[in-house]
Structure 1
Amino acid sequence: MNFKEIAVFFKFTGQQRTGIFLLFVIIIVLQLVYFYSDFYPPEKAFPEKEEWISLQSEIDSLKLIKYNEKRKVYLYNPNFISDYKGYKLGMSTQEIDRLLAFRKENKYVNFAEEFQQVTKVSDSLLKIISPFFKFPDWIQKKNNFKAEKKEFTHKDDLKKEKIVVLNINEATHEDLIKIYGIGEALSLRILRQREILGNFVSMDQMNEIWGLSPEVVAELNSHFKVILSGSFKKIAINDASLKELSQFSYFRYALSKQIVTYRSMNGNFKNIEDLSKIKGFPVEKAKIISLYLEF
């Protein structure tokens, strides 16, 4: 195909040239309209949205204040650290397991250094977490008492104060809180137990009161003794009714019922040994219970 044959395709009549020109004009006009016109529908106004936007700055400021606030750190007793709590504190599983094994033996750590001895935590970790340890008040008093007692023994020229032994059954709240290791709560607990029992019959009963450590019990024994008043009345075990027996602190209703049944079938009890044969009888407390009974 030569040039002349191709040129035939580019020959237009006057009407065709006019049509082509008009087509270009229409294309340009449409492009300008598309470029400058906004075909998006107008946004609808929502009052709730406007109200939310107006409050957004206030919300953001409150969030910022909360973010910048220092977290309140609560004190805790390290004896009751759980697996999760220990993990959050940075303790390893071995350190947590040592603490849990120690607690299973019904033992307690009483100060930060003892916590480190049990768990083997590093000095750096102990320095971080120990300021937030909180031990019971009686432990703090016991530690203070040990320190004071040690200082006292080194003063050879100081005369020992004579201890006046009081009757535990007449002791007041003020008498009890004078003892090292006993605060307001423990004093009220001792008085409440005495009220339930009517009278203490043995200083060994101090071991039954929750919260009294062996050291505090020893202090109580050195300052108090048991003296039963003339008004103290023992329970007639062979004549007491079911109601009277069930009101006794060391007997529950089920045990009282068994005592009455056993008594009616086998006759009177002669001694505490006969009574201890009943199923469910607290044999470990037989000596103390016998002091409340009359055979």
Structure 2
Amino acid sequence: MNTLKSHFRYNTSQRNGIFFLLLFIVFLQGIFFFVDFSSDETNAVSQNEIVAFQHEMDSLKRVELENRIPKIYPFNPNFITDFKGHQLGMGLDEIDKLLAFRAKGNYINSTKQFQETTGVNDSLLAAISPYFKFPEWTTSKNIIEKPYSKITIEKSILKKDINSVSAEDLKMINGIGEKLAKRIIDYRTKLQGFSINDQVYEVWALDKEIAGKVLQYFEVTNLPKIQKININTATFKEVLSIVYLDYELTKKIFNYKNQVAEIQSIQELKKIDGFPLDKFNRIALYLDAK
């Protein structure tokens, strides 16, 4: 018991130390309780930084949205492809009408004729027609508006048939050397001939500017005779050999064929889930259902 009491006995110096310690603790508690350590200046700076950051994020979002919108440059509507037409907002029937008109050797020479041929509505025509760029000789006031044949075009602008040019002809264009010329010829062979002018842009590693130069001198004036593949009798490997088909799409086509037993029309391919409608007209060049 004496031992226990000894632990609670303090001399005068110790009691004074304990008293001042308690007094110091109370003093510190009073400071934290009565003194405001918050800073309006700091909060104001933080708020300004947040607003500035938000404005910067909004600006970046606007730039990103603008970049996502396809930019339209002046173009000749005679050379609208299925992909280009899809980008412009044209329907499949409207694109097919244009391609059928061009396949007959005819050219569109005015905005009015474009609408009459394709059947596009007034609102779409108003949106895309400002970008139409026709050759100067078609906009002359002395020329009566009418379809011009490819022969007439060739005489006016002296373009050669791209399906008959040689590698040496291509090398005459600034920017095309032996390798690029061979690559264009090889791709033409793989396609069995160019059917659409814009197929030149598909040549691997061919710059768009150089491809545009090619089309200034050469164009499709004689459609190639493509050996079509019967989709109902062809093998998987034969269909896969088509330029515009990959393994997954070929597999989908064969799965669909197995479901329906026999494909009656190539148009049925549009019913396949995930089928690239923008490439349909190109793919249809190589397939037949009869």
Give the TM interval when normalised to the shorter protein. Answer: 0.3 to 0.5
Scaled by the length of structure 2, what TM-score is found?
A: 0.41
Greater RCO, 1 or 2 (C-alpha within 8 Å, sep 6+): 2
* Higher-Rg member (1/2): 1
Scaled by the length of structure 1, what TM-score is found?
A: 0.40
